[in-house]
């Protein structure tokens, strides 16, 4: 009974774990197959590049959401937070242009990261100090951020200064060794996220808090601090996404980031992270984000779906994607 050596033939466990991780990628593969059948152009380099690049926003934010959700929280405010911080960033840069010229972009980036972190901190503190359901808190702050951007833009929109458009453009449209910048950014974010979640004390504690709050407290983990930190990370991710977003649309409007929160959470869940908390799966999340964007892309590329029914088809595909995973999990 005392044979301690971890025998290599412990397949069931290794397998089970791998399967959960692979699930989303299988779904992704299936989707790509479908795509090729529907429209050969689907696999054209430009199209793939476009789709993946686009999914960057959601992917980056969803990495943050993976922290929040695995620590047992939920953040509905990310969409409007994105709009809000984008607005702040643009206004600030426009104000700085006269004095700093193109450097305003650097300053803007620095600022938006701080603002994002603060927004996250705000969410986190209300949740942990006020001891209120994250759902309600972030629903509230969702309204707050949305209103602030509407206010800042007087219900219209906040365009970025002409002189900044060009220098800023590459952040979205540029590429590095052929890979679009946003893709690189999101990969980097995911790498860092994965490192923090899987390889640091904080990450461990995050998962512990999400898995069983009592055990966490009895193990000397300050549950509140961990939860708050998760929200802060979420805020920073939102800010990073905003940085990639600005050059794409060149303006912040009251409708910026509308309903992103749903896409983000969907990406996380499709990625295999349970909404009730516990283990988070960064790479699955990334896959989830790409899946969502690909579905939207297929809707445009396919010609046999009535415009009115697009949303329905998307809904169906999302559910199917989950089923594919479910069953890929039973080997």
Residue pair 331/21 in contact (Cβ under 8 Å)? The answer is no
Rounded to 5 degrees, what are φ and ψ at 277?
Answer: 100, 175
- Residue 215 engages a second copy in binding (rule: CB under 8 A): no
Candidates 92-100, 110-118, 147-155, 232-240; binding stretch for another protein (CB under 8 A): 147-155
Candidates 61-69, 97-105, 115-123, 153-161; binding stretch for another protein (CB under 8 A): 153-161
Residue pair 28/284 in contact (Cβ under 8 Å)? The answer is no
Shortest Å distance, C-beta 138 to another protein: 19
Residue with Cβ nearer a second copy (240 or 269): 269
Write the burial class of residue 4 (CB in 10 Å: 0-12 exposed, 13-18 middle, 19+ buried): exposed
- Residue 254 engages another protein in binding (rule: CB under 8 A): yes
Distance CA 171, CA 7 (A): 49
Out of 125, 159, 167, 175, point to the residue binding another protein (CB under 8 A): 159
From 247, 90, 253, select the one nearest 167 (Cα to Cα).
247
- Residue 297 engages another protein in binding (rule: CB under 8 A): yes
Residue pair 231/73 in contact (Cβ under 8 Å)? The answer is yes
- Residue 201 engages another protein in binding (rule: CB under 8 A): yes
DSSP 274: -
Residue 183 tokens read as 């893709």
Residue with Cβ nearer another protein (110 or 151): 151
- Kindly identify the residues of this chain, within the stretch 67-96, that bind another protein according to CB under 8 A: none
Out of 132, 191, 215, 300, point to the residue binding a second copy (CB under 8 A): 132
Binding-residue total with another protein (CB under 8 A): 77
Out of 40, 98, 101, 155, point to the residue binding a second copy (CB under 8 A): 155
Residue 274 tokens read as 């349970």
Q: How far is CA 316 from CA 126, 286, 312, 326, in A?
A: 36, 20, 6, 15
Q: Residue 315 binds what, of another protein, a second copy, none (CB under 5 to 8 Å, by partner type)?
A: a second copy
- Residue 39 engages another protein in binding (rule: CB under 8 A): yes
Distance CA 137, CA 75 (A): 8
Rounded to 5 degrees, what are φ and ψ at 191?
Answer: -60, -50
Residue with Cβ nearer another protein (199 or 326): 199
Out of 38, 49, 118, 148, point to the residue binding a second copy (CB under 8 A): 148
Residue with Cβ nearer another protein (55 or 110): 55
- Kindly identify the residues of this chain, within the stretch 50-109, that bind a second copy according to CB under 8 A: 76
Distance CA 207, CA 148 (A): 33
- Residue 47 engages another protein in binding (rule: CB under 8 A): yes
From 309, 285, 234, 212, select the one nearest 25 (Cα to Cα).
285
Distance CA 130, CA 309 (A): 42
Distance CA 141, CA 102 (A): 32
Q: Residue 11 binds what, of another protein, a second copy, none (CB under 5 to 8 Å, by partner type)?
A: another protein
- Residue 175 engages another protein in binding (rule: CB under 8 A): no
Residue with Cβ nearer a second copy (107 or 299): 299
Sites of contact with a second copy (CB under 8 A): 76, 126, 130-133, 135-137, 139-144, 146-148, 150-151, 154-155, 262, 265-266, 269-270, 274-276, 306-316, 318-319, 322-323, 326
């Amino acid at each position: 009974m005392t044979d301690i050596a971890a025998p290599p033939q412990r397949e069931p466990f290794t397998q089970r774990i791998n399967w959960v991780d692979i699930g989303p990628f299988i779904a992704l593969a299936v989707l790509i197959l479908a795509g090729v059948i529907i429209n050969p152009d689907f696999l054209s380099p430009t199209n793939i590049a476009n789709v993946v690049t686009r999914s960057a926003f959601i992917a980056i934010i969803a990495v943050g959401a993976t922290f929040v959700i695995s620590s047992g929280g939920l953040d509905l405010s990310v969409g409007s937070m994105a709009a809000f911080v984008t607005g702040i960033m643009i206004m600030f840069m426009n104000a700085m242009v006269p004095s700093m010229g193109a450097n305003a972009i650097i300053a803007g980036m620095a600022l938006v990261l701080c603002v994002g972190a603060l927004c996250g901190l705000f969410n986190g503190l209300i949740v942990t100090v006020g001891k209120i359901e994250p759902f309600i808190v972030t629903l509230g702050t969702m309204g707050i951020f949305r209103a602030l951007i509407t206010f800042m833009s007087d219900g219209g929109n906040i365009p970025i200064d002409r002189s900044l458009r060009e220098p800023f453009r590459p952040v979205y449209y540029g590429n590095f060794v052929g890979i679009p910048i946003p893709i690189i950014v999101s990969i980097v974010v995911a790498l860092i996220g994965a490192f923090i979640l899987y390889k640091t004390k904080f990450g461990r504690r995050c998962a512990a808090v999400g898995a069983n709050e009592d055990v966490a407290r009895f193990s000397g983990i300050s549950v509140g601090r961990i939860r708050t930190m998760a929200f802060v990370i979420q805020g920073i991710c939102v800010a990073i996404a905003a940085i990639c977003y600005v050059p794409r649309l060149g303006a912040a409007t009251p409708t910026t980031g509308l309903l992103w929160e749903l896409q983000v959470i969907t990406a996380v869940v499709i990625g295999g992270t349970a909404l009730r908390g516990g283990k988070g799966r960064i790479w699955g999340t990334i896959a989830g984000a790409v899946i969502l964007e690909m579905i939207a892309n297929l809707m445009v590329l396919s010609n046999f779906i009535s415009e009115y029914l697009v949303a329905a088809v998307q809904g169906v595909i999302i559910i199917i994607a989950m089923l594919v995973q479910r069953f890929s999990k039973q080997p």
